[in-house]
Amino acid sequence: MAAGPYATKYLAEHGATVIKVESLKNPDINRAYVPMAGGISGINRCGIFNWCNNDKYCMSLDLTHPRAPEVARKLVDWADIVVENFRPQVMERRGLGYEDLRKIKNDIIMVRVSSLGQEGPHALLRGLGPFLVGLAGFTPTLGWPDRPPIGPTTVPYTDHLGSLYATIAILGAIDYRRRTGEGQCIDLSQVEAGVTTLASAILDYEANDRDLKLVGNHHQWACPHGVFRCQGDDRWCAIAVFSDEEWQYLCRAMGSPDWSTDSKWATVESRKANEDELETLIEKWTIQQSSQEVMNILQRSGVRSGIVQSAEELVGDPQLEHRHHFRSVEHPEVGKHLVEAPAFVLSETPAELKMPAPCMGEHTEYVCTEILGMSDEEFVELVVSGVLE
């Protein structure tokens, strides 16, 4: 749904020819997710699908058809890399496991992005990103001490982390093949990709036998640390103070109120001991100004701060506009809409976003006749037989 598609999105935007294989019987299930453009349901109108599949071709191939392997073999013989995002053993059941692919092309690179890896006691566990967030250890960090943890979150963190690791692994495998002439199989676990971001928590447990606890927006070594209500409806600014020196910066930015000189605010430890009271006092200052004003004042004063932006504000953010982070593409069914560029810019070969996400089977004929070199007669026969849809 996301980990494999995002990895191939990065490659497509930097010049790779990426062919997405789906079928009407088994489309990418992202195509059924909301939101849909204009609130109108349709297999080509899903915002999430269109967000992570731009600059790819889509071929509609029914892999359950007895003749599908002959087309699949042509694809593998053409390709440098095969990326799959299924549960383990799905590709083997289709005769498309790594050993099967090597018989077609011995230097093929296969990327297997799954929930928990290809082997192990829980490898066959079914899961999606929001649920893998719990398995990866994120959930104990999300929530408040007096409430249950928040989860499963709607943000599939492990998908996004997994896609980055997959991209790096692909580049490493390509370099290895250039040097040795040999391909390889990349076995990526989304949960393990997520675990890598919790290094400090794991180290704390290993060294101090101290486990993660729900602390809301608070931080173990910082105070104040959280989001504070500002002027307006549901407007907030995030503030983080990690040292006593930064605390003095914050006090001066707020106009050095009388209460700020109390000794119980002098150190991080004493501020932590009175954190709720401190947040109430700070919010009496932030609520009098807009979130943008609070951020500007604090940033100029040397305090870490940032407004909590809505989707509308992100799209109009001047910094993101300057970096061309959101690009406009014209979709044949949805019309003009934004897609997201990579968060990195290569100075000599920057990403080029040229095509919208494909409609279902939009490029089947092009892939078969122009890329795979099938004759028109062969293509028509495969369509009539139901292999191609």
Which residues are the active-site residues? 159
Do 170 and 7 form a contact (C-beta atoms < 8 A)? yes
Do 43 and 50 form a contact (C-beta atoms < 8 A)? no
Residue 194, phi then psi, degrees to nearest 5: -70, -40
How many angstroms separate the Cα of 377 from the Cα of each of 77, 180, 213, 364, 383?
A: 21, 39, 65, 14, 10
Helix (H, G, I), strand (E, B) or coil at 99: helix
Read off the amino acid at residue 95: G
Q: Which positions ≥6 away from 139 have C-beta within 8 Å?
A: 133, 149, 150, 151, 152, 153
Give the separation between CA 278 and CA 291, rounded to whole angstroms: 19
Give the separation between CA 362 and CA 375, rounded to whole angstroms: 18
